[in-house]
């Protein structure tokens, strides 16, 4: 089977491509920044040459997108391309174009060509602050109260997906990711947090973390995010259209404490939370029972396993020995 993965050269997207290739699928990577570096970190040249086709593509270009889908006999689409929060804030016009128009373009192209399945990346940012919800764990179908324009765009996309599902009977599944981390991140707020909180200490560098110590986050290791995506792409049509996905729940301080267990002399400073659209206080206490019941997804990576693996990967790529067991 042939998949098209938009944003397939990016952080989560490249891990999705890896998993698809390892399962014997053919993959068309459709990316505005079609660099091979993320893919070559995860796949051999032989795997890429035999199973991956890389195309410089724009999700807002409907003609190019449909032509690519048709010429490559694509059967399923995984839509990971997006403008991240910090970039969105800096250029809202571009953010709306890519995240809203681009996502609608993917749905319309799939409808036009009669494709079997679309899985796409939404975000926990569709939800609001903890005080908006009476439950300790926010239900999967809870109301959206986005605190920034990025979250509002993702909420709009979920509405559009529902329209295509209802009107045309399409099988479209959204995954609301939160705090997906790992080695190799380059973009977004999470990348900045992980770089300063995990990667710099792994290399003996000081870290100044742009996140408050009591910020509660759902730490999802990237391999789990990729596995959830592939699992959703292979599942029969589910009654739930958007699933919250998260790993273990920990404060930023708890992560810093664990990093210091691994590197006792780590120099980590947690910066005060800035009151801006880029640094809204969010909870990641999302109820994930729906994805567990309907897709059978359970995270396989604990926080400690994921943080250690991230640090060791960074160390290995810099010629350093792994951390002591």
What CATH number is attached to the domain comprising 159? 3.40.50.720
| 238 and 203 fall within a common domain | no
**pLDDT on residue 284:** 76
| DSSP-based three-state secondary structure for 95 | helix
- Classify residue 133: in a domain, yes or no: yes
d(CA 245, CA 162): 19
Residue 82 backbone phi and psi in degrees, to 5? -170, 155
At residue 211, does pLDDT exceed 90? Answer: no
Residue 247 backbone phi and psi in degrees, to 5? -100, -150
Mean local confidence (pLDDT), 245-260: 95
At residue 277, does pLDDT exceed 50? Answer: no
pLDDT band, residue 166 (cuts 50/70/90): very high
Mean local confidence (pLDDT), 288-315: 97
| 73 and 98 fall within a common domain | yes
- Classify residue 280: in a domain, yes or no: yes
pLDDT band, residue 146 (cuts 50/70/90): very high
Helix (H) or strand (E) segment spanning residue 221: strand 216-221
> Is 150 known to be catalytic?
yes
pLDDT band, residue 280 (cuts 50/70/90): low
Q: Looking at per-residue confidence, does 271 or 97 come out higher?
A: 97
- Its pTM stands at 0.95
| 116 and 211 fall within a common domain | no
| 130 and 199 fall within a common domain | no
Which of 258, 243, 255 minimizes the C-alpha distance to 176? Answer: 243
Tokens read off for 90: 């800096």
pLDDT in tens, 96-115: 999 999 999 999 999 999 99
Percent of the chain with pLDDT over 90: 86
- Classify residue 291: in a domain, yes or no: no
pLDDT band, residue 278 (cuts 50/70/90): very low
| 234 and 205 fall within a common domain | no
The parent domain of residue 102 ranges over 2-178+222-245
CATH number assigned to the domain comprising residue 213: 3.90.25.10
Q: What is the mean pLDDT of the chain?
A: 94
| 160 and 211 fall within a common domain | no
Q: Catalytic: which of 127, 133, 150, 286?
A: 150
d(CA 47, CA 30): 17
| 308 and 213 fall within a common domain | yes
DSSP state letter for 236: P
At residue 123, does pLDDT exceed 90? Answer: yes
Highest mean pLDDT among 104-108, 134-138, 177-181: 104-108
pLDDT band, residue 272 (cuts 50/70/90): confident
pLDDT in tens, 35-91: 899 999 999 999 999 999 999 999 999 999 999 999 999 999 999 999 998 899 999
Q: Give the number of domains in the chain.
A: 2
**pLDDT on residue 215:** 78
- Out of 129-138, 184-193, 209-218, which region has the weakest mean confidence (pLDDT)? 209-218
**pLDDT on residue 129:** 86
Query: Within 10 Å of residue 78's Cβ, how many Cβ atoms?
Result: 31
Distances (CA, A) of 124 to 167, 185, 235, 260, 283: 26, 19, 22, 28, 9
């Amino acid at each position: 089977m042939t998949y098209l993965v938009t944003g397939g050269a990016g952080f989560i997207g490249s891990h999705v491509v890896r998993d698809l290739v390892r399962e014997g699928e053919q993959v068309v990577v459709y990316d505005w920044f079609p660099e091979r570096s993320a893919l070559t970190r995860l796949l051999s040249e032989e795997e890429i040459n035999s199973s991956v086709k890389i195309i410089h593509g724009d999700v807002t270009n409907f003609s190019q997108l449909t032509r690519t889908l048709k010429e490559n006999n694509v059967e399923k689409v995984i839509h990971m391309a997006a403008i991240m929060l910090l970039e969105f804030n800096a250029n809202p016009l571009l953010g709306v174009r890519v995240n809203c128009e681009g996502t609608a373009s993917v749905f319309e192209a799939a409808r036009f060509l009669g494709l079997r399945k679309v899985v796409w990346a939404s975000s926990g940012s569709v939800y609001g602050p903890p005080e908006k919800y009476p439950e300790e764990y926010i239900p999967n179908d809870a109301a959206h109260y986005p605190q920034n324009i990025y979250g509002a765009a993702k909420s709009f996309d979920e509405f559009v997906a529902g329209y295509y599902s209802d009107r045309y009977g399409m099988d479209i599944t959204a995954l609301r990711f939160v705090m997906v981390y790992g080695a190799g991140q380059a973009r977004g707020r999470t990348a900045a947090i992980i770089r300063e909180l995990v990667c710099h200490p792994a290399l003996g560098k000081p870290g100044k973390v742009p996140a408050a110590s009591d910020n509660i986050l759902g730490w999802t290791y990237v391999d789990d995010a990729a596995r959830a995506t592939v699992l959703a792409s292979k599942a029969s049509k589910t009654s739930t259209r958007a699933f919250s996905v998260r790993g273990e729940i920990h404060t930023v301080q708890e992560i810093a404490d664990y990093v210091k267990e691994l590197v006792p002399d780590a120099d980590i400073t947690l910066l005060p939370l800035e009151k801006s659209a880029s640094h809204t206080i969010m909870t990641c206490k999302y109820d994930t029972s729906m994805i567990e019941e309907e897709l059978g997804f359970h995270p396989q990576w604990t926080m400690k396993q994921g943080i250690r693996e991230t640090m060791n990967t960074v160390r290995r790529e810099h010629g350093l020995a792994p951390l002591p067991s």
